[in-house]
Amino acid sequence: MKYIIVIFGIYAQCILAENNAYQQFQEYMSINGGRILTISINQNQNGNRFHLNGTLYYFGDHYYTYDDQNQRITYDYAEITTINKITKQVIYDYNIVNEPNILDILTGQKSMMEIGEIIFEKNGFRIPFEISSLDISGILWTTPDTGEPKKIKIKYLEDTEIQLSIISSELFRDKNIAKINTAEYEIINLRE
């Protein structure tokens, strides 16, 4: 009888953890002070493959920066600033309302997402999701207990797939993003 109670307790914990896996992920991402994620992005579009390594500086739901060797993109609620390091341009634009991108999903924004049946696998939770209004589907993998994201796979437009792997994660506290000297860069303001 004692073993049955222990087994039932473990099973109940797994069921509760599965139901809370996405919430754990959101809590992991929204810690005070923010997070720094080192990420690897692989994209396959129309048979063409692209690979980038970069860093995501996450400050909150509506404020984060993605930086790699070619560009730096900052989302600040309604505005996007893109610094193209190759063409030496700074582009200011408005964020398109209700159009999510892979970073919105990674940062835990759920506004238009429908979460599917969460599955506990050998290495963590597998959280399927859809954004049916945009014909996007995907899977988010997280670490049990912490909710730390490990990988995201997104499919859209029949022929496009993006896989984002999180290489490392740390707290942002007391760190700074390296400045880019844009004094000689062309400024393009699309907000006008």
- Rounded distance, CA 172 to CA 37, Å? 9
DSSP string, 108-177: T--TT-EE---EEETTEEEEEEEEGGGTEEEEEEE-TTT--EEEEEEEETTTEEEEEEEEEEEE-TT--P
Q: Which domain holds residue 25?
A: 2-189
Reported pTM: 0.79
**What is the CATH number for 140?**
2.50.20.10
| pLDDT value of position 102 | 59
Highest mean pLDDT among 51-55, 101-105, 107-111: 51-55
Predicted local confidence at residue 33, as pLDDT: 83
Helix (H) or strand (E) holding 64: strand 63-68
Question: How many residues are present in the chain?
Answer: 192
Q: Domain total for the chain?
A: 1
